[in-house]
Chains A and B, each alone.
Chain A
Amino acid sequence: MTLNILFRRAFSDIKQNAGTQTVTTIVVTLSLLIFVFFSFLYFNLERFVGHFGRELGIVVYLKKDLAPDRIPAVFATLQKMEGVKSVTYVSPEEAYYRLESYLKDEVNILDGVEPGFLPPSFELEIDRALFQLTRIKELAEKIARWPEVDKVQYGQEWLHRLEAFSHLTKMVVAAGGVLLLLSAVFVVASTIKLTVYARQEELEILRLVGATNSFIQGPFLIEALLQGLIGSSLAVGIIYAMYTYTKPMLAGSQLLRGLDYQFLPYTFWAPVIGVTTLACIVGTLFSMRRFLKL
């Protein structure tokens, strides 16, 4: 038996059962469409929140009377800490200039004040800050206990609110994603089962004329491969079309200013297509098992 015969039979079946084949492909597309759309939203939400949280860091104020030769040691220790992406030293003079530029027209408030009156400090950028809110809190509390440190600030109040929001979003996304994926697999498996059931008579006749299991299964598996591949590619394609259509509209949005509105990376959608195709093939194999008992 050659692949040529199996493909010929598969394409002949597709032609003869075009209606059922189309319905199964549409079911795959619709199931995947919801999942891909949800993932697309989450992907951009994550980027949005990630961008938003990039400014979220820790400010470590050192004691004013700290010997200057201790500062490099503290700098080195901070750099080595897990989760710390970068450390910037802000000298009292630098802090003073920043304050000056912040006050703008009100700068005369600083008249008579010495440029070195502010304490030296370190600004810590945290890796994926918004997704490590608990880590920020732990780090801040740990650093605060050091003898060289006077005070640690990390935007406690809104950090706690963000923490709660981020936690809830993660839960909703995870639960929703799992449910959608499960329902997609269930719908696809059921549709394939119905397709196989509808062609039970054909399977019976094939067995009667001496067809081997691989001869019977072959075309069904080729059909499942095509349904999975076309169905999932269509779902990804529709979301991509939606993305290209809405991108110019959202480009000027105040909400997204300065942010990247992006399509899902191929490292996400390629495995989705692959896994869906595989799920369709495995689903067909399982659906046919019962009918192939001799």
Chain B
Amino acid sequence: MLTAETPIISFQGVSKKYPPNHLVMSDVNLEIEKGELVFLTGQSGAGKTTLLRLLFRAELPTSGKIIVDGMDLSSLSRSQVPYLRRKIGVIFQDFKLLSNKSVFENVALSLEVLGLRKEQVKKRVCQVLEGVGLGHKMHQYPPQLSGGEQQRVSIARAVVNRPPIILADEPTGNLDKLRTAEVMLLMHELNARGATILFATHDERLYQDSPGRVLRLESGKVEVVS
């Protein structure tokens, strides 16, 4: 049972090593409280993406324990993984949208897997797309949109099922200054509504004047920057 004091994300002595002997994370201990906005920074290859992938169980740690919203990922069975992922919305630098599906269909995917009825799906997708300013483009296809718009579709897909945790992996990496500002505004809005956000970026301008903790991943260890 998760109490108000229990961290929503907890890393306990987590190490990750890739064969033959590439150590990415070494004995990482980290706790993130519910509703926190945390920036994860570090140079390219420092292991930011690995840390995020460990959280939605795309990978398993070599040793240590990871607990996400009360679920111990080390003892999680394969059949339970989809239920973990429904608690986490993931946003990628390369958007990961299906080009043969419309904006509406891409966002609806997250709700369809929950078994929601067609009318419910339609209502919530429209709401979220309006929220990210793309209500008028829901019938268009990703290749017809700009990079910033595609990233907003990706964000809409990540949040439409109202997950308590949002993981963002360099979501502004492919965007210009204006689009970056739009995405950051959306992230702050989501955080203000109670979502826990772990935001991986190497761009220090994004967190310089922003509220939230900043953690740096370096040489396999996590250091608190601010």
Contact = CB atoms under 8 A, between A and B. Distances in A.
Interface of A: 1-2, 5, 8-9, 12, 16-17, 201-202, 204-213, 215, 294
Contacts of B100: 16-17
A208, A209, A212 interface centre (most CB from chain B within 10 Å): A209
B109 interface: yes
B85 interface: yes
B113 interface: yes
A1 B115 contact: yes
Contacts of A5: 112, 115
Interface in B43-59: 56-57
Given A9-B112, A205-B96, A215-B113, 19 more contacts: A1-B115, A16-B100, A202-B98, A205-B97, A205-B98, A208-B56, A208-B85, A208-B90, A208-B96, A209-B85, A209-B109, A209-B110, A210-B83, A210-B84, A210-B86, A212-B113, A213-B82, A294-B57, A294-B81
Contacts of B78: 294
B57, B82, B86 — most chain A CB neighbours (10 Å): B82
A5 B121 CA distance: 12
Q: Size range of the interface on B?
A: 20 to 34
Nearest to B96: A205
A215 to B, nearest CB: 6
9 contacts: A5-B115, A8-B118, A12-B105, A16-B101, A201-B98, A205-B109, A206-B113, A208-B56, A212-B82
Interface string B71-98: 0000000110111111000100000111
B90 A212 contact: no
Interface of B: 56-57, 78-79, 81-86, 90, 96-98, 100-101, 105, 109-110, 112-115, 118, 157, 161
B82 A211 contact: yes
B84 to A, nearest CB: 8
- 4 closest residue pairs by CB, A with B: A210-B86, A210-B85, A211-B113, A1-B115
Contacts of B114: 210
A1 B78 CA distance: 18
Nearest to A1: B115
B159 to A, nearest CB: 11
A213 B113 CA distance: 10
Contacts of A206: 109, 113
A255 to B, nearest CB: 55
Contacts of A212: 79, 82, 113
Contacts of A16: 100-101
Nearest to A9: B112
A156 B86 CA distance: 79
A140 to B, nearest CB: 68
A205 B85 CA distance: 11
A2 B96 contact: no
Contacts of B118: 8
Contacts of A207: 82, 85
A34 B96 CA distance: 42
A151 B57 CA distance: 86
Nearest to A204: B96
Nearest to B99: A201
